[in-house]
Amino acid sequence: MARKGRSTIIPLRYILVDAGPLIALFDRDDSYHQLVLDYIKTFNGKLITTWPVLTEALHMLGFHVNAQLDLLTWVERNGVQIYEMSSDVIPDIKTYFDKYRNIEADLADISLLVAADQMNVTQILTIDRDFNIYRMPDGEYLHNVLQY
């Protein structure tokens, strides 16, 4: 028999978000728009990204100021939270740049790897196939939650 007044605590789920899904979400003509929108509508947890990822997404949405403003408004409303990094992570960033020099990894992707390691997050929302190559320090891949 269950005790009255007791509740089950469900741990909050965190997922990292790459630039591609952010772009798709705010560009209705993007081929991944509906897929990303459907996923986010059903997701129950916290979406996390980094400043380099947000910068990349805003740059790629540069064709339409309203799309940029909509993305920034969504960030303001905590649709996605920005994971803050200090300069203390520069050695980690350098290590990843060196490790993935042959595939020309960019700062946005590497910032997500660093955030994943620091936050102990194992899942990512991405359309970037490079995340099939990147590995965390423990040798594991980030699991892409977006099935396409």
Structural domain contains residue 134: yes
Query: Residue 135: what pLDDT?
Result: 96
SS3 of residue 126 by DSSP: coil
Structural domain span for residue 115: 14-144
Residue 2 has pLDDT above 60, yes or no: no
Query: Residue 104: what pLDDT?
Result: 86
Which segments within 2-128 are labelled E, that is strand? 14-17, 46-50, 81-83, 123-125
With pLDDT > 70 as the criterion, what percentage of the chain qualifies? 93
Structural domain contains residue 82: yes
CATH code, domain with 108: 3.40.50.1010
Structural domain contains residue 40: yes
Query: Residue 3: what pLDDT?
Result: 46
Q: How confident is the model at residue 74 (pLDDT cuts 50, 70, 90)?
A: very high
- What's 104's DSSP letter? T
Structural domain contains residue 72: yes
Structural domain contains residue 5: no
Query: Residue 1: what pLDDT?
Result: 46
Q: Which of 123, 114, 128 is nearest to 143 (CA)?
A: 123
Structural domain contains residue 6: no
Residue 10 has pLDDT above 80, yes or no: no
Structural domain contains residue 59: yes
* Residues 20-40, mean pLDDT to the nearest whole number: 97
Query: What is the model's pTM?
Result: 0.90
Residues contacting residue 145 through CB under 8 Å, at least 6 positions apart: 15, 39, 123, 124, 125
Structural domain contains residue 92: yes
Query: Residue 148: what pLDDT?
Result: 72
Instruction: Provide the number of structural domains found in the chain.
Output: 1
- Of residues 3 and 69, more confidence is placed in 69
pLDDT in tens, 113-139: 999 999 999 999 999 999 999 999 999
List beta partners, residue 46. Answer: 14
